[in-house]
Chains A and B, each alone.
Chain A
Amino acid sequence: QKEVEQDPGPLSVPEGAIVSLNCTYSNSAFQYFMWYRQYSRKGPELLMYTYSSGNKEDGRFTAQVDKSSKYISLFIRDSQPSDSATYLCAMTTSGTYKYIFGTGTRLKVLA
């Protein structure tokens, strides 16, 4: 079993829809949770960074962490065609840079 599980998709939604992307994990020691966006043939770029449990909002993006369920989510409101990309979750324990990444969910927002 992988430490971090992520549905690969693809997930296709119409423009303006609310998108929900999710990851589950098995290591209860994870404390730092991140979402990266990766456009085709590009490197990943950080979207959201959350410490421990709770919600964090940044514009159209909201990250949620539920440590009791070992489940994290990224919500995208009013999705745009420019949001079409692969979204990677990543997480790590305290005191280490060793990020564990999910395999990514490919999102397509249709105009």
Chain B
Amino acid sequence: DAGVIQSPRHEVTEMGQEVTLRCKPISGHDYLFWYRQTMMRGLELLIYFNNNVPIDDSGMPEDRFSAKMPNASFSTLKIQPSEPRDSAVYFCASSQIWSTDTQYFGPGTRLTVL
């Protein structure tokens, strides 16, 4: 299995532009997570899905952020409009079940908003 796939790996954009980050979870995994990592705040959960349904989006910072999972093999995280404070590494992770199973992280998308 190729693991969790994220694209793009790097994104540089200007303030006010729309940014779309993409994630393909591991096949067969039921849960998908979006995280944001910064030096100051560490790794923070933004939202997670179970069977394509958003379960907890309490970590989404504001209405500029939105996430969708149209099917079991694809999810997007969109920021519109982007701001310099959104600069961070965004990770997608997937997991199969609770109990001893773990979240498998993708390589991340490094976002820079100028």
Do A and B truly interact?
Answer: yes
- Where the two chains meet, the residues of A that have a C-beta atom closer than 8 Å to any C-beta of B are 34, 41-46, 49, 88, 90, 96-99, 101-104
Query: A45 touching B100 by the CB < 8 A rule?
Result: no
In the complex, what distance in Å separates the CA atom of A11 from the CA atom of B12?
32
Segment touching A, from B64-72, B73-81, B91-99: B91-99
> Nearest chain A CB to B7's CB is how many angstroms away?
14
Task: Count residues of chain B with CB under 8 A from any CB of chain A.
Answer: 25
- On whether A88 and B42 interact (CB within 8 A), knowing A43-B106, A44-B105, A45-B105, the answer reads yes
The one of B43, B48, B107 in contact with A88, judged by C-beta atoms closer than 8 angstroms, is: B43
Whether B85 sits at the interface, judged by CB under 8 Å, is no
Closest A residue to B45 by beta carbon equals A98
In the complex, what distance in Å separates the CA atom of A42 from the CA atom of B91?
10
In the A-B complex, list the 10 residue pairs whose CB atoms are closest, starting with the nearest. Answer: A43-B105, A103-B42, A101-B43, A46-B102, A44-B105, A101-B42, A43-B107, A43-B91, A43-B106, A43-B108
In the complex, what distance in Å separates the CA atom of A70 from the CA atom of B95?
27
> Nearest chain B CB to A89's CB is how many angstroms away?
10
Contacts of B93 in A (CB 8 A): 43
In the complex, what distance in Å separates the CA atom of A6 from the CA atom of B25?
29
Question: How many A-B pairs with Cβ below 8 Å?
Answer: 49
Query: A46 touching B103 by the CB < 8 A rule?
Result: yes
Closest A residue to B9 by beta carbon equals A41
Closest B residue to A46 by beta carbon equals B102
13 cross-chain CB contacts under 8 A: A34-B102, A42-B107, A43-B4, A43-B105, A45-B105, A90-B43, A97-B33, A97-B56, A98-B48, A98-B56, A101-B42, A101-B44, A103-B43
In the complex, what distance in Å separates the CA atom of A46 from the CA atom of B102?
7
Contacts of B107 in A (CB 8 A): 41-43
Query: B42 touching A49 by the CB < 8 A rule?
Result: no
Contacts of A97 in B (CB 8 A): 31, 33, 48, 55-56, 95, 98, 103
